[in-house]
């Protein structure tokens, strides 16, 4: 028997494609659910994803591609979901196969809008998957750099250390180093919040603030992230570990970040609608800022940056005015 | 009487020039010691510094310029030193005027090579200035953005809160926000260490590592900074405040950072000597890495990044090999 379990990745975006690539470094066969049949045909013929991360080349013989989600659920022991949170519920609703006893890892950054829960909680509370079978794959990791095989570090969080180790082994390679963690809740919230802070960084840049301010914004963001997560799930964690601070920085500072790009357009005067139309990818932070705002009503933490982003994106407030006020609250 | 004291800035570099500019927003007259008489003549005629930050314009009537350091010491109640640490001792040796009762603020990032002390400690231990009269002006703040009047935040650290407030008032303006702190030792060490980490970031970039790795490097750097400072001076401090984390980020991520630039050249294969010759400015982190290495022999903290930079810059070790090993020690 292989030392690796049967793994399937669910999603056709850039992060899903990157995870399939990582798995292909170790596994003889990788399951890959892609909704669109035309995309599957294209991948089979051209050995890369036509829409996202097209520079990542695959050996087709390693791929078990299917547009039938139930077939893929039945195939795998480990299901890795990398579908944007805004669409995940629609996809999960299609599943009729029993999977509550399988290992479920989420590579999704965000909250499931329909339940208001982070993905791990949703699987546990709504779909009866035991918490010990649920894990999270987190950055700091831009998919684009995985395609280029540039050294990247992942954090694999699961309450069951053995399962975290198992998935770590599947993903590690000469360009991927992994670290395991038992803070699945904190890791998920960090992955969600960092997108909001990246939007804030983008707005600041779009408004003409410079590098000096950017560093103050990031320094305040990590403190805000710590306060927010502590209110949701209190445990001993070092917020400066790569899964929290590293993930914030790679998103807040990188040119690859679609959230930062989205914020930048807002700062430059685009409306939310026009900025969204201009981008072909979803800015997860848009949905995250609404969810964070809602969550923070219960046992609230002080979150001036999240509040500012929410006011701009959902309350039609003027970015310049909101940020002027925000600068008074930072230090 | 004016609500502001008589202040003089010592130094002709970009940071000194930026501080003079900030002071000119509030004070009727600002003392400015510049070693080179020709530079003074140029400033008087052209209203800007010819060598550094030349876009910052001055009203000459506000400036009390002199190349006589003793005249400037006699003039001021508050002395702000912004001379690179490698040259500070030579300048201080020229002073015959008594100044142990004056307020001394350091805007220098680094260790005085001759004494192996950070600037505050040097003034206290070697020059008998009482600790309560000594303070530090710290970033995150690139001088270049001060010239552009882009919003920046400074931390003013002094054990005597009133003096910190006094200097804060002198420096605050529509583009400068200030915060006071009593952690003068930690603030100085942070300002020194961040330059070493910025060199590391530059080396990584020069070697071809990407944004994913950069964020892991910064996440490890702040944890390393915390460990190092704690061993030197233990007190309650939030390492994620702007004076520590913010200062690290602005230096590690900004294109303006000469330390990052220096590291980048080393990573690309320049020798230390040729990289230094290529740059017209001093990379403070070069000296800082040696000092940090020495300091860390007493009550050592785990500092793999500082060790790596030291090995490359002073022990002629191959950057590629050293960083390959370093990547195994990060997480």
Kindly state the greatest CA–CA separation across chain B: 62
Give contacts of B139 with chain A, Cβ < 8 Å. Answer: 212
Calculate mean pLDDT across residues B71-84: 97
d(CA A66, CA A72): 7
Q: Which two tokens stand for residue B238?
A: 């939030």
d(CA A159, CA A232): 17
Quote the percentage of chain A above a pLDDT of 90.
Answer: 90
Express each pLDDT in B211-235 by its tens digit.
999 999 999 999 999 999 999 999 9
Q: Output the 3-class SS for B52-89.
A: CCCCCCCCHHHEEEECCHHHHHHHCCEEEECCCHHHHH
Mutate to test the interface with B, among A178, A187, A215, A237 (most CBs of B within 10 A): A215
Hey, what domains does chain B have and what are their CATH numbers? 7-182 (3.40.50.720), 193-329 (1.10.1040.10)
pLDDT tier at B110 (50, 70, 90 boundaries)?
confident
pLDDT, position A115: 86
Angle at A130 between CA A127 and CA A136, to 5 degrees: 90
User: Which single residue is written with the structure tokens 């949905």?
Assistant: A287
Q: How far is A264 from chain B (nearest CA, A)?
A: 17
Express each pLDDT in B134-157 by its tens digit.
999 999 999 999 999 999 999 999
pLDDT, position B232: 94
B223 vs A: CB within 8 A: yes
Under DSSP, the state recorded for B245 is I
Among B150, B153, B216, whose Cβ lies nearest the Cβ of A140?
B216
Give contacts of B327 with chain A, Cβ < 8 Å. Answer: 151, 177
Under DSSP, the state recorded for A173 is B
Quote the percentage of chain B above a pLDDT of 90.
Answer: 90
Q: Which two tokens stand for residue B296?
A: 């860390």
pLDDT tier at A284 (50, 70, 90 boundaries)?
confident
Give contacts of A240 with chain B, Cβ < 8 Å. Answer: 219, 222-223, 226, 239-240
Express each pLDDT in B283-295 by its tens digit.
889 989 999 999 9
A135 vs B: CB within 8 A: no
State which H helix or E strand residue A181 sits in.
strand A176-181
Count Cβ atoms within 10 A of the Cβ of residue A62 and give its class: 0-12 exposed, 13-18 middle, 19 or more buried: middle
Mutate to test the interface with B, among A157, A174, A219 (most CBs of B within 10 A): A219
B212 vs A: CB within 8 A: yes
ipTM given for this complex:
0.95
- Indicate yes or no: CB of A212 within 8 angstroms of CB of B239: no
d(CA A62, CA A47): 11
Q: Which two tokens stand for residue B198?
A: 């910025």
Express each pLDDT in A94-111 by its tens digit.
999 999 889 999 999 888
d(CA B220, CA A181): 16
d(CA B219, CA B197): 11
- Indicate yes or no: CB of A253 within 8 angstroms of CB of B256: no
d(CA A263, CA A209): 13
Q: Which of residues 95-134 of A touch B (CB under 8 A)?
A: none
- The set of residues, in sequence order, having a beta carbon less than 8 Å from that of B264 and lying 6+ positions away, is B202, B203, B205, B206
Residue of B nearest to A226 (CA): B240
Under DSSP, the state recorded for A60 is G
pLDDT higher at A284 or B11: B11
B201 vs A: CB within 8 A: no
pLDDT at B1 over 60: no
Residue of A nearest to B226 (CA): A240
pLDDT, position A2: 64
Express each pLDDT in A26-82 by its tens digit.
999 999 999 999 999 999 999 999 999 999 999 999 999 999 999 999 999 999 999
pLDDT at A308 over 70: yes
Quote the percentage of chain A above a pLDDT of 70.
Answer: 99
- Indicate yes or no: CB of B247 within 8 angstroms of CB of A215: yes
pLDDT, position B2: 64
Q: Which two tokens stand for residue B184?
A: 């003068």
């Amino acid at each position: 028997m292989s030392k690796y379990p049967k793994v399937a990745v669910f999603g056709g975006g850039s992060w899903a494609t990157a995870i399939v690539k990582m798995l292909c470094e170790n596994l003889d066969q990788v399951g890959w659910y892609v909704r669109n049949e035309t995309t599957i045909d294209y991948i089979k013929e051209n050995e890369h994803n036509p829409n996202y991360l097209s520079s990542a080349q695959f050996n087709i013989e390693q791929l078990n591609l299917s547009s039938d989600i139930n077939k893929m659920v039945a195939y795998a022991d480990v299901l890795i979901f990398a579908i944007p949170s805004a669409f995940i519920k629609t996809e999960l609703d299609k599943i009729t196969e029993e999977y509550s006893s399988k290992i479920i890892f989420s590579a999704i950054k965000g909250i499931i809008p329909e339940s208001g829960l982070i993905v791990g909680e949703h699987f546990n509370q709504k779909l009866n998957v035991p918490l010990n079978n649920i894990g999270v794959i987190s950055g700091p990791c831009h998919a684009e750099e995985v395609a280029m095989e540039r050294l990247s570090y992942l954090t694999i969080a699961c309450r069951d250390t053995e399962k975290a180790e198992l998935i770590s082994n599947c993903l590690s390679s000469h360009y991927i180093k992994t670290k395991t963690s038992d803070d699945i809740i904190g890791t998920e919230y960090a992955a969600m919040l960092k997108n909001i802070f990246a939007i804030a960084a983008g707005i600041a840049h779009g408004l003409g603030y410079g590098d000096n301010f950017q560093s103050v914004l990031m320094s305040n963001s990590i403190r805000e992230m710590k306060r927010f997560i502590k209110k949701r799930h209190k445990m001993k964690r070092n917020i400066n570990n790569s899964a929290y601070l590293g993930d914030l920085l790679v998103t807040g500072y990188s040119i690859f970040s679609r959230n930062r790009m989205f914020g930048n357009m807002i700062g430059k005067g685009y409306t939310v609608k026009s900025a969204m139309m201009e981008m072909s990818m979803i800015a997860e932070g848009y949905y995250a800022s609404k969810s964070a705002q809602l969550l923070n009503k219960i046992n609230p933490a002080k979150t001036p940056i999240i509040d500012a982003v929410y006011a701009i994106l959902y309350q039609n407030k003027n970015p310049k005015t909101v940020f002027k006020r925000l600068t008074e609250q930072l230090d």
